[in-house]
């Protein structure tokens, strides 16, 4: 058995030796490093770190497990995020990772750290939203943990889902010439966040001003009340289409495309004019002097699904009103590009959210 060497307390506290900033690695670099250092001991652990959810063998079926943490001040701002919505959203973002495996969610567990700034009524409001999400996704809240907190509210949710073994879809299964599909529309949640941030600033300078959000209802709704696309998972099953690879869009289309490219060891080629952007997103991005396609590529929190299908499956999906075909996979993993509306070749770079840099 391996034993751990315990350093003395002085070393632990001051860590006087080499120091590398986490921002040098970024979130994905850090996860890669953790993954490289981990060995799996059980044959039932079919897939560990590296996908939207872990895959655990359960006979003819597989269980998928995913966890996500939401921190006050990092992932949400309670000055414009009602607690009911926060409860709903924290479940939805976890269900989205289960959807991204082409599985069905069945259970969640919730860990809560909560400071004395919050009342019982506040916790009730949060759980009202959590229960609403459990109802709409038909999942059962089966446990969790509760702790006090010195830094506001922290919600960590783990979701568990299930699917027949052969239906599970990973990030790594795409083949050259597979068609890249995306659901819904992109960039709205990010633009919605900009609207909310602007209104917050207006309110802080003049508390008598009540925000008029009617014009931005769709965008704000996409930020405050995202839905996991379980409806798409049902439609795919109904149409007997199993994607070859899939991921949910939490960090922005560009970042997720690069994950598919890396894991499938292929390149992606997409077309700007095929990327779905809602009219309100487009207009409001311009109002904020932002490029709408940049919001779609690098804005986060859309929770749409990005997946690839074999060309032979195109017929099954081509009439789906909410699935868009934006490009294809190709052999060169080092060439991830977008063909712009002006027909120029634009390299796809991930900006995503780098929490360590405080973005």
- Given the complex with ligand ADP, which of 67 and 149 has the nearer CB atom? 67
User: Does residue 52 interact with ligand ADP by CB under 6 A?
Assistant: yes
Alpha-helical runs (H) found in 63-212: 83-99, 120-137, 188-205
Q: Which of the ranges 50-58, 200-208, 278-286, 333-341 carries the binding residues for ligand ADP, by CB under 6 A?
A: 50-58
- Under a CB-based contact definition with an 8 Å cutoff, are residues 348 and 336 in contact? yes
- CA 109 to chain CA centroid, Å, is 18
- Given the complex with Mg ion, which of 72 and 97 has the nearer CB atom? 97
Work out what residue 185 binds among ligand ADP, Mg ion, none; the CB cut-off runs from 5 to 8 Å by kind.
none
Whole-angstrom Cα distance, residue 313 to residue 307? 12
Interacting residue with ligand ADP among 50, 144, 211, 333 (CB under 6 A): 50
What is the nearest approach in angstroms of ligand ADP to the Cβ of residue 94? 8
Size of site (CB under 6 A) for ligand ADP? 9
What is the nearest approach in angstroms of ligand ADP to the Cβ of residue 259? 8
User: Does residue 301 interact with ligand ADP by CB under 6 A?
Assistant: no
- Under a CB-based contact definition with an 8 Å cutoff, are residues 149 and 114 in contact? yes
- CA 253 to chain CA centroid, Å, is 10
- Given the complex with Mg ion, which of 90 and 284 has the nearer CB atom? 90
Tell me 31's DSSP state: H
User: Does residue 72 interact with Mg ion by CB under 5 A?
Assistant: no
User: Does residue 97 interact with ligand ADP by CB under 6 A?
Assistant: yes
- Element spanning 25, H or E: helix 22-36
Q: Compute the C-alpha angle 297/312/265, nearest 5°.
A: 50
Work out what residue 34 binds among Mg ion, ligand ADP, none; the CB cut-off runs from 5 to 8 Å by kind.
ligand ADP
- Given the complex with Mg ion, which of 225 and 259 has the nearer CB atom? 259
From residue 55 to residue 94, what is the string marking binding to ligand ADP with x (rule CB under 6 A)? -------------x--------------------------
By CB under 5 A, the residues from 92 to 151 that bind Mg ion are 97
User: Does residue 51 interact with ligand ADP by CB under 6 A?
Assistant: yes
- Side-chain-side CA neighbours of 129 within 13 Å: the count stands at 23
- In order of 2, 15, 16, 21, 84, the CA distances from 7 in angstroms are 16, 10, 12, 21, 45
Whole-angstrom Cα distance, residue 133 to residue 140? 10
Work out what residue 255 binds among Mg ion, ligand ADP, none; the CB cut-off runs from 5 to 8 Å by kind.
none
What is the radius of gyration, based on Cα positions, of the chain?
Answer: 21
Whole-angstrom Cα distance, residue 119 to residue 287? 39
By CB under 5 A, the residues from 203 to 232 that bind Mg ion are none
Interacting residue with ligand ADP among 22, 34, 176, 209 (CB under 6 A): 34
Contact residues toward Mg ion (CB under 5 A) are 52, 97, 248
């Amino acid at each position: 058995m391996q034993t751990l060497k315990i350093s003395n307390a002085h070393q632990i506290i001051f860590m006087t030796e080499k120091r590398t900033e986490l921002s040098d690695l970024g979130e994905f670099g850090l996860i890669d490093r953790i993954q490289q250092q981990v060995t799996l001991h059980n044959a039932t652990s079919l897939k560990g770190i590296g996908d939207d959810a872990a895959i655990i063998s359960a006979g003819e079926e597989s269980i998928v497990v995913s966890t996500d943490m939401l921190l006050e001040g990092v992932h949400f701002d309670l000055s414009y995020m009602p607690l009911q919505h926060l409860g709903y959203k924290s479940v939805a973002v976890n269900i989205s990772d289960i959807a991204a495996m082409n599985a069905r969610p069945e259970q969640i567990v919730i860990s809560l750290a909560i400071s004395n700034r919050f009342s019982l009524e506040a916790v009730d409001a949060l759980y009202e939203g959590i229960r609403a999400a459990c109802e709409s996704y038909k999942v059962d809240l089966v446990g969790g943990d509760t702790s006090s907190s010195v830094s506001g509210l922290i919600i960590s949710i783990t979701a568990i889902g299930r699917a027949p073994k052969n239906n599970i879809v990973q990030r790594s299964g795409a083949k050259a010439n597979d068609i890249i599909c995306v659901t819904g529309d992109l960039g709205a949640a990010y633009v919605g966040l900009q609207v909310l941030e602007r209104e917050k600033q207006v309110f802080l300078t003049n508390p008598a001003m009540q925000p008029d959000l009617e014009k931005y209802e769709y965008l704000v709704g996409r930020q405050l009340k995202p839905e996991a696309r379980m409806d798409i998972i049902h439609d795919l099953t109904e149409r007997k289409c199993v994607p070859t690879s899939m991921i949910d869009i939490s960090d922005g289309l560009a970042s997720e495309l690069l994950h598919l490219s890396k894991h499938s060891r292929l390149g992606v080629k997409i077309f700007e004019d095929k990327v779905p952007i809602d009219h309100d997103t487009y207009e409001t991005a311009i109002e904020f002097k932002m490029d709408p396609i940049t919001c779609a590529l690098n804005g986060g929190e859309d929770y749409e699904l990005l997946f690839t299908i074999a060309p032979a499956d195109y017929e099954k999906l081509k009439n789906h009103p909410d699935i868009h075909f934006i490009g294809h996979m190709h052999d060169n993993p080092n060439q991830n590009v977008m063909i712009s509306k002006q027909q120029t070749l634009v390299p796809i770079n991930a900006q995503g959210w780098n929490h360590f840099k405080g973005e």
